Structure 1
Amino acid sequence: MTLTIDPAVVRHAGSTTAGSPVLVLLHGYGSHEGDLLGLAPHLPADLRLVAPRGPLTGGPGFAWAPVTVPGRPDPAAVRDAADALLTWLDATVPAGTPVGLLGFSQGGLMVTQLLRTRPERFAAGVVLSGFALDTDEPGDADLAARAVPVLLGHGDADPVIPADATARTATWLAAHTVLEHHVYPALGHAIIPPELAHVASFLTRTLR
């Protein structure tokens, strides 16, 4: 399936200075493009924030891919969404601009997939309560060679993303990226202030 990102519903916030690093915010299943913009006050002020809407309807909002087995979506659907995001990104952000990715839940899946699809395009990634496909992807070796920094943050009481998917993802990221991994005791499927402090510090160090 050929998917497209609608530029008319992409939201923007943060820095308006030309050449500012770009942080792409990728919402979770059933959410929308405005959801993660609520994190803006907690993120470095010099970043340009860009939040696209998932190309599919899902739950009460939008999605990047259909939900099938939790933690194990159809790889073809995830690849289609990554291709759509890359086409939109190439038309939106000039080559040479530092680009980071931040995704929550299914948006975190898209962060990992974008890194695996075109690792040279991205300076850093943040995966919050997300996961990666349980497959080998063509860009995996290139990603490992580039040592892209990635922050993985999640709770140890997440009722949405299966623990085996989270553990699998942490192992995979440790082998293919420069991983910073934070586990938050008793946290469910959510984002908390200590996690945001870790994210802000990570982006300040990596997205320049």
Structure 2
Amino acid sequence: MTDFSQTQPIIDEKAVVWSVAREELAQRLPGSRLLVIMHGYGSHEADLISLAPHLPGDIVCASLRAPLIAPAPIQNGFAWFQIGESGNPEPSAVDAAARGVIDWLDGLTTTHGAPAAVSTLGFSQGGAMALQLLRHEPQRFASTVNLSGFSVSGDAPADEELTSIRPRVFWGRDERDPIIPPSAIARTSTWLEAHATVDARLYPGAGHGITGDEITDVRRFLEQTLLAAPSSATA
């Protein structure tokens, strides 16, 4: 675990919450469909794992704890990167966090064997992380779910490649989200239009949150993408 003074975020493997028992990972993970879940700012790994029972039953879910300790007044909460300007964090900090998740995935494969396919699901800051992971290693991920999140400004290593392969991305939000500023929404819309095949949906009344209808749509999206993805030895 690190605080905001650190620049090399590392995912704490012991803090990962799985949808299956840890003692079953060696048997269950190789060849399975893996969904990597990333929470929002000030939350924790035990939050979004509650979505697992509402997602396709044939996937394995891993909910990660962000590597940075969120500052006061938040208690027992974590962050992927410093907020900085709302909706416009320092790209290098998001890149560093993305590399930490990629390193964790590499270690997971070494320890337990490769999943058949991997998708990501993130909320708010976690949504920004899901998109940034795609911008680093697009071939690694079958699909991306961005809930109430945003794309980070600037260029990323695989942006040019993404304009050709245009991976599947689900983007769910409330048009009246009180947290994500309009400038970040506009940036995200422009970036997704140029780099992905987007399923963009609005959920009035969600605020900065997740609705039941949204999760139903996410389930269908993962059935069409993660479950349908061909097996990849590089995942």
TM-score, normalising length: structure 1: 0.95
- 2:101 is matched with which residue: 85, 88, 100? 85
Instruction: Name the aligned partner's letter for residue 42 of structure 1.
Output: H
Structure 2: which 5+ residue stretches go unaligned?
1-6, 228-235
Instruction: Show structure 1 runs of 5+ residues with no match.
Output: none
Residue of 7, 12, 15 corresponding to 1:6: 12
**Which of residues 113, 119, 125 is equivalent to 2:132?**
113
Instruction: Report if the CA contact (8 A) 1:152-1:170 is conserved.
Output: no
Q: Which amino acid aligns with 2:107?
A: A
**1:23 paired to 2:35:** yes
Distance 1:40 1:143 in 2: 28
Superposed displacement of residue 143, structure 1? 1.9
Aligned pairs for 1:96-107 within 5 A: 97-107=116-126
2:163 is aligned, of 132, 141, 144, to 144
C-alpha separation in 1, matches of 2:12 and 2:115: 23
1:76 aligns with 2:76: no
The answer to whether the Cα contact below 8 Å between 1:14 and 1:47 also exists between their aligned partners in 2 is no
TM-fit CA distance, 1:131 = 0.2
Shift of 1:96: 6.0
Task: List, as ranges, runs of 4+ consecutive aligned residues in structure 1 with deviation greater than 3 Å.
Answer: 14-18, 93-96
Taking a change above 3 Å as real, the CA distance of residues 71 and 150 of structure 1, as seen in their structure-2 partners, is same
Q: Give the 3 Å change call, closer, same or farther, for CA 66–204 of structure 1 in structure 2.
A: same
Give the secondary structure class of the aligned counterpart of 2:42.
coil
Which amino acid letter does the alignment assign opposite residue 169 of structure 1?
T
Residue identity over aligned pairs, in percent, reads 45
Residue equivalent to 1:171:
190
Structure 1 segment 178-189 matched on structure 2, within 5 A: 178-189=197-208
Q: Is the 8 A contact 2:147 2:172 kept in 1?
A: yes
- Report what 2:151 is aligned to: 132
Asked if structure 1 preserves the Cα contact closer than 8 Å seen for 2:173 and 2:206, the reply is yes
Aligned length: 208
Where 1:87 maps in the other structure, the secondary structure is: helix
Q: Is the 8 A contact 1:25 1:51 kept in 2?
A: yes
Q: Distance in 2 between matches of 1:51 and 1:41?
A: 13
Instruction: Give the whole-Å Cα distance in 2 for the aligned partners of 1:42 and 1:109.
Output: 22
Match of 1:8, as an amino acid? Answer: K
The 1-side partners of 2:212 and 2:204 are apart by 13
2:31 and 2:114 in contact (8 A); partners too = no
TM-score of the two chains, using structure 2 as the length reference: 0.85
Q: Is the 8 A contact 2:178 2:207 kept in 1?
A: yes
**Cα separation, 2, equivalents of 1:197 and 1:14:** 21
Look up the match of 2:210. Answer: 191
